[in-house]
A and B are shown apart, each in its own frame.
Chain A
């Protein structure tokens, strides 16, 4: 099972000091967080993609390429790549390039984006969101799998005799996750292709996550990719930890109470009861995360959001120490216990390459 972190990339004032980091500071902080993730033994770093303030990561492959050059093992991913408003040709090119630079340590998560004006800014219609995701991704797959593509669709200028370069590393397309919070159509899309499905459950109650994941698993089996239990599932989660749980609550509350995503709504206690947010000791984080398996089944990827609510970099790096040293080793052990042997790991470049070579030998 893979463990990692995902960052939204928001520039949020620290409510305890009133200080707002500069864009440069925030970008460098995201890099520092990614490097620390590798240092403490995590598997994945994923960055969001946004095209409006107060967010900085508009150019994910630039950032991930830089991180790739400074890491050895970390898988570089996205949370999410906007399959609706980006040109699928540019996604194909950018991520194939990143694959080569990172020696295959790349996958990506498709998402539709939740900021209405981004669609018109990129010449698209938000009412076509699902259809854009379907058509663009169908083209993206072909661009990675076919050397010469002739294509005509509804939303993009046609392609005749087009070759996307560079070709994917070793002829193996990056593994793709499809992220969706509430659209069954996207679970269906992920199932159809046998791709991964990531439910970003961080603001949602467990019963909703359960239904989305169950739908994806059932449809994954329907399309003949394996049993429902073998489908490739990823989940989110967000935490704030201190060794002593009361210290965690005391320190995080002023951040929670005014954070753009959490604040001015339910109390910290209500929110932690209803959603995956855990504010407490490493043991509490372990306990809550292990429960995800009860409603999502054995799954492949767990990403945590740590750099939220305007926490300073120093604090986030301390969180990573706790996550890497105290939480993830226990989670690896506990999740492995009782996991059926035929539940696969999340695909990586190495496993996809081996699968492709097996297929060639058989043929």
Chain B
């Protein structure tokens, strides 16, 4: 199964990336996954240019394809001004709005203090609900003090367990209804025959 970590950390090394790596490692201990990390910092200019050009550059396009093809996602952002960072949001703004449909997503965030921990619930969860992802019940927030305290490991294990279970469940068989995005034919190969489009417009009765 393919696991993709999207990290919006900016500093090097970054605690946001560290949280993403720890979550991915925990998933890897309970499920067989190939993990790929998408560092948004490296794509910052191409993301901005996608807004001005209307199409992604090569590196961004590759990242978008990796995300669309993933069986599960771990998304991690630092908290900026009481929400996800602008870079984090921008990556999802230029992603195909259908790319995350039905995909398990583990939401995670880092911040300077625990006072922003509900950012997971008031910012990240609605964003991924809008994108029709399956957002895991457990999100993981790590404040600076958590890196030196007990409890973070437990939350990481719990969230990673949920993600591993959901990925295994979803990739085991295509659920009833709509197939996952990656399995659906794209717009170019699934063109609606023109007669059908014309017929749909004909007045009835």
Q: Is the CB of B188 within 8 A of A211?
A: yes
Contacts of B12 in A (CB 8 A): none
Contacts of A205 in B (CB 8 A): 55
Q: Which residue from chain A places its CB closest to the CB of B187 in the assembled complex?
A: A184
Mask: chain A, 109-144; 1 = CB below 8 Å from B; 0 = not: 000000000000000000000110011001000000
Q: Which residue from chain A places its CB closest to the CB of B190 in the assembled complex?
A: A184
Mask: chain B, 81-108; 1 = CB below 8 Å from A; 0 = not: 0000000000000000000000000000
Closest Cβ of chain A: how far from B68's Cβ, in Å? 16
Mask: chain B, 168-205; 1 = CB below 8 Å from A; 0 = not: 00000000000000000001100111110110111100
Q: A203-B53, A265-B52 given as contacts; is B201 within 8 A of A185 (CB)?
A: no
Confirm or deny: B151 has a beta carbon within 8 angstroms of a beta carbon on chain A: no
Confirm or deny: B137 has a beta carbon within 8 angstroms of a beta carbon on chain A: no
* A215: contacting residue among B48, B52, B54, B188, CB under 8 A: B188
Complex Cα gap A270–B55 (Å) = 13
Q: Is the CB of A154 within 8 A of B192?
A: no
Confirm or deny: B57 has a beta carbon within 8 angstroms of a beta carbon on chain A: yes
Q: Which residue from chain B places its CB closest to the CB of A205 in the assembled complex?
A: B55
Interface residues on B, range: 20 to 34
Q: Is the CB of A185 within 8 A of B53?
A: no
- Which B residues, 36 to 66, have Cβ-Cβ distances below 8 Å to chain A? 48-49, 51-55, 57
Confirm or deny: A229 has a beta carbon within 8 angstroms of a beta carbon on chain B: no
Closest Cβ of chain A: how far from B65's Cβ, in Å? 12
Q: Is the CB of A188 within 8 A of B194?
A: yes
Q: Which residue from chain A places its CB closest to the CB of B203 in the assembled complex?
A: A152
Q: Which residue from chain B places its CB closest to the CB of A152 in the assembled complex?
A: B203
Confirm or deny: A264 has a beta carbon within 8 angstroms of a beta carbon on chain B: yes
Closest Cβ of chain A: how far from B46's Cβ, in Å? 9
- Classify the interface of chain A: helix, strand, loop or mixed: helix
Q: A134-B201, A135-B201, A153-B203 given as contacts; is B194 within 8 A of A189 (CB)?
A: yes
Q: Is the CB of B192 within 8 A of A188?
A: yes
Closest Cβ of chain B: how far from A95's Cβ, in Å? 22
Confirm or deny: A308 has a beta carbon within 8 angstroms of a beta carbon on chain B: no
Contacts of B201 in A (CB 8 A): 131, 134-135, 153-154
Q: Which residue from chain B places its CB closest to the CB of A131 in the assembled complex?
A: B201
Q: Is the CB of B53 within 8 A of A265?
A: yes
Q: Which residue from chain A places its CB closest to the CB of B45 in the assembled complex?
A: A266
Q: Which residue from chain B places its CB closest to the CB of A204 in the assembled complex?
A: B55
Closest Cβ of chain A: how far from B204's Cβ, in Å? 10
Q: Which residue from chain B places its CB closest to the CB of A154 in the assembled complex?
A: B201
* A185: contacting residue among B51, B54, B192, CB under 8 A: B192
Q: Is the CB of B53 within 8 A of A266?
A: yes
Q: Which residue from chain A places its CB closest to the CB of B54 in the assembled complex?
A: A203
Complex Cα gap A290–B193 (Å) = 33
Confirm or deny: A55 has a beta carbon within 8 angstroms of a beta carbon on chain B: no
Closest Cβ of chain B: how far from A294's Cβ, in Å? 18
Q: Which residue from chain A places its CB closest to the CB of B57 in the assembled complex?
A: A274
Complex Cα gap A266–B201 (Å) = 42
- Which of A's residues lie within 8 Å of B, judged by CB? 130-131, 134-135, 138, 152-154, 184-185, 187-189, 191-192, 203-205, 208, 211-212, 214-215, 219, 223, 264-266, 270-271, 274
Given contacts A134-B198, A185-B197, A266-B52, 13 further A-B contacts (CB under 8 A): A130-B197, A131-B200, A187-B191, A188-B197, A189-B194, A192-B195, A203-B54, A204-B54, A214-B188, A215-B191, A219-B191, A265-B49, A266-B53
8 A-B pairs closest in CB distance: A265-B52, A192-B194, A266-B49, A135-B201, A188-B191, A184-B187, A265-B49, A184-B191
Q: List 11 A-B contacts (CB under 8 A).
A: A135-B201, A153-B203, A184-B187, A185-B197, A188-B192, A208-B55, A265-B48, A265-B49, A266-B52, A266-B57, A270-B49
